[in-house]
Structure 1
Amino acid sequence: MILEKVDHRLDLQGKVCPYPTLEPRLALNDMAAGQVLEVITDYYPALQTIPELMRELGYPYELVDGDKPVFRFLIQKT
């Protein structure tokens, strides 16, 4: 479980592909290991694309409020 100590936050509401995947990737590149990124999005396909990206990059993540119109991901850079 990722602690909810958020170091960086991306509010991507209203943004569509490729931004809900591209912006977290760029933000994680600038973060230190152990830091947590919160991604907020209302783009439904991000429910699939963000987890795919995190598996590819090897970063643990949690989907919070996945049943709401706005989704939150907590991603920990390792």
Structure 2
Amino acid sequence: MQARKMLFAAIPSICASSSKKISIYNEEMIVARCFIGFIIFSRKSLGKTFKVTLDGRIQAIQEESQQFPNPNE
């Protein structure tokens, strides 16, 4: 619900900034905005999946590191 409110606030602000020539549309800005949008979207929709995957990998690394003794000790 909050994402929908942000979207409705973003569209008029983008239109206003482009009509007043505040926002410049070149390739770099378009790519940067798409990348930021992708990061936000993937964090919201896939955040729990990434967390579960990374937690599993952390656990596997910790178990693997406990199998070998520390040579500095």
Where is the helix percentage greater, Structure 1 or Structure 2? 2
Asked if Structure 1 and Structure 2 have the same fold, meaning a TM-score greater than 0.5 normalized by the shorter chain, the answer is: no
Q: Higher RCO, 1 or 2 (CA under 8 Å, sep at least 6)?
A: 1
TM-score in terms of structure 2 length:
0.23
Where is the strand percentage greater, Structure 1 or Structure 2? 1
